[in-house]
Chains A and B, each alone.
Chain A
Amino acid sequence: MLTETTNIDTHLIPVLKTVSDPEIPVLTVLDLGVIREATEQDGVVTIKLTPTYSGCPAMDVIGDDLKTAFSEIGKEAKIELILSPAWTTDWISEEGLQKMEEYGIARPMSESADKDVLLGEKKLVKCTNCGSTNTHLVSQFGSTACKALFKCDDCQEPFDYFKCLK
């Protein structure tokens, strides 16, 4: 559900698609929904980027990667970091969610289901390896701020779960 609109010039999309999240390399910045605006005027591309989490170190890298990607086609890119409206996991595209699951990160659940699983009250998160929901929370915090760590009790695989952020 995209409640907040983006303003992205279609001719810039092919370049934007070449830049991915350094921590989840299967996701492009477009899949992740962090690009809120990308417009070109007089040869200068202005990009408005919103962070997933305030302290996400990937944001600085993404900004630099975007500049590099555009400079390679002879364009200057200006990056502006915006905080409002705050990023939500709803902005990850369906394609992005599928890629993420294939990569081994379970997709965020709805807000209420998310609360249940992170409090360890219900078993709802699907194992990315075998598909079982017989899984349990290992750690509320995972390898990055946006993820929690889970383990499958059927196939014993540990995996990341992308926390719902709304």
Chain B
Amino acid sequence: MKENLYKYILGIADNSLILAQRLGELCGHGPSLETDIALTNISLDLLGQTRSYYQYAAKLAGEDKTEDDIAFLRIEREYKNVLLVEQPNTHFGHVMARQFLFDVYHLMLMEQLQNSKDETLAAIAKKGIKEVSYHKRFSSDWVKRLGDGTEESKEKMQEAINAMWRFTDELFDVMEADKAMIEEGIAVDVSEMKETYYEKVSEILEKATLEVPERKYFTRGGKKGVHTEHMGYLLADLQYMQRTYPNMTW
């Protein structure tokens, strides 16, 4: 099995799965009908991308592994998503801050991944770009609307951006498997995206009349499988059905 490629795929796909799960929790609980529909639509796009990645990974793994095994039957330490995407839906400001900070990164990643030497990854990225650019537009608009809105919305949006900020630096960490894949022209060297990312984010925060947090210390660990306390609860929800009724299908 191509172990490095498998790991690389999961590193990307787990972000989409976990964020999709978080957004899915809001189904029927969005602050308004339109945002409820939007959040679940975004969740669905991410889940669709996740399926494409996992189907590919399952093929590489062989041994009759399926996309569902990968999604549902791993333990917490085996999920390699960044800490940012597992953060809870504290309030709508947090949901949008998390989404916005991820979308900017996600779109940059897709734009480069479409040139990957791996045909399947390139195809998933090309398809994903169209969806992710729409997500970014949506989340950026909300950051601006709330940031440049009322006194209260501004305060909440700023608080949310500040709370999420410490998880952003991890997005650009390069793991061992990634290094090997970068050398082969398959993976994107995310460490090179960092500067542009913060420029893009700052530009929108300024439009939103929000302050760009100045932080020197960042929290990381998700890419190594060391998650925040929220992850266990999220997985309990995500995996419940398959753990309770193994192999059940719809």
> For residues 20 through 66 of chain B, which have their beta carbon under 8 Å from a beta carbon of chain A?
33-34, 37-38, 41-42, 44-49, 51-52
Looking at the assembled complex, report how far the CB atom of B69 sits from the nearest CB atom of chain A, in whole angstroms: 18
Q: B127 touches which one: A83, A145, A163 (CB < 8 A)?
A: A83
Count, chain A residues at interface, CB 8 A: 25
Determine the main DSSP class of A at the interface with B.
loop
Interface 1/0s, chain A 30-49, versus B by CB < 8 A?
00000000000000000000
Contact B48 A54 (CB under 8 A): yes
Q: B47 touches which one: A55, A138, A139, A163 (CB < 8 A)?
A: A55
> Is A140 an interface position by the 8 A CB rule?
yes
Count, chain B residues at interface, CB 8 A: 27
Q: Report if A54-B45 is in contact (Cβ < 8 Å); known contacts: A83-B52, A83-B124, A86-B130.
A: yes
Q: A138 touches which one: B34, B131, B138 (CB < 8 A)?
A: B34
**Measured CA separation A54–B134 after assembly (Å):** 13
- Which chain B positions have C-beta within 8 A of A86? 123, 126-127, 130
Contact A56 B48 (CB under 8 A): yes
**Measured CA separation A85–B123 after assembly (Å):** 7
> Is B119 an interface position by the 8 A CB rule?
yes
**Measured CA separation A68–B52 after assembly (Å):** 24
Looking at the assembled complex, report how far the CB atom of A84 sits from the nearest CB atom of chain B, in whole angstroms: 4
Q: Report if A55-B45 is in contact (Cβ < 8 Å); known contacts: A140-B138, A141-B34, A143-B37.
A: yes
- Which chain A positions have C-beta within 8 A of B126? 83-86
**Measured CA separation A102–B93 after assembly (Å):** 40
**Measured CA separation A56–B46 after assembly (Å):** 11
**Measured CA separation A114–B38 after assembly (Å):** 18
Q: Report if A139-B127 is in contact (Cβ < 8 Å); known contacts: A53-B45, A57-B44, A84-B122.
A: no
Contact A145 B44 (CB under 8 A): yes
Looking at the assembled complex, report how far the CB atom of B179 sits from the nearest CB atom of chain A, in whole angstroms: 27
> Is A11 an interface position by the 8 A CB rule?
no
**Measured CA separation A86–B130 after assembly (Å):** 9
**Measured CA separation A51–B137 after assembly (Å):** 22
- Which chain A positions have C-beta within 8 A of B45? 53-55, 145
Task: Output the residue of A55, A56, A118, A144 with the most chain B CB within 10 A.
Answer: A55
Q: Report if A139-B52 is in contact (Cβ < 8 Å); known contacts: A54-B127, A54-B131, A86-B127.
A: no
- Which chain A positions have C-beta within 8 A of B147? none
- Which chain A positions have C-beta within 8 A of B38? 139-141
**Measured CA separation A166–B129 after assembly (Å):** 10
22 A-B pairs with C-beta separation under 8 A? A53-B131, A54-B51, A54-B52, A54-B124, A54-B127, A55-B45, A55-B48, A55-B51, A56-B44, A56-B48, A83-B120, A83-B126, A85-B126, A138-B34, A139-B37, A140-B38, A141-B34, A141-B41, A142-B37, A145-B41, A145-B45, A166-B130
